[in-house]
Amino acid sequence: MHEPDPETVAQEVFATLADPTRRAILAALSAGGPATATDLAAQLPITRQAVTKHLTLLAEAGLVVAEPGERRRIRYRLDSGPMKVAQQFLAALARDWDSPLAALQDRLG
C-alpha cells in the first residue's frame, strides 16, 4: 500500500496541485493549521461537499492526513512527504533533459 513508485506519487501530486481550488485548500491548511471540511468551506467560495471531495483526493495523494477527533469531527493535517518525492522527480527530469548522457545512464541503471 506504500506506493513505492516515485512516478506514481509524482503524478498524483501533479494532478492534485494542478487545481487552484485544491491549492487554496492547502494554503488555508498551511495558514491556519489542521481544520475540518466545514471549517474550510467557510473560508472558500464552494460548498462543504465540494471541499470534502477535494480533501478525499488530497488524502489519496497523501498530501493531507485525516485525523479523527472528538464529536465525529475529522481534522485534516498537511503532509509534505509526497511533495518532496514529486520535487525529486522534477529534479531528476530536469537533469536528464539538460544532460542526455545522464538520461541514458538513468535508463540503463
Cα atoms in the 13 Å half-sphere on the side-chain side of 95: 12
The residues near 81 (Cβ < 8 Å, ≥ 6 apart) are 62
Judged by CB under 8 A, the residue of 100, 101, 108, 109 near a copy of itself is 100
Q: Interface with DNA by CB under 7 A: which range of 26-34, 48-56, 89-97, 98-106?
A: 48-56
Regarding 20 and contact with a copy of itself (CB under 8 A), the answer is yes
* Residue with Cβ nearer a copy of itself (26 or 41): 26
| Distant-in-sequence, close-in-space partners of 44: CB < 8 Å, separation ≥ 6 | 21, 24, 25, 28, 51
Residue 44 CB neighbours (<10 A): 16
Residues of this chain that bind a copy of itself (CB under 8 A): 7, 10-11, 13-15, 17-18, 20, 23, 26, 30-31, 33, 78-80, 83-84, 86-87, 90-91, 93-94, 96-98, 100, 103, 107
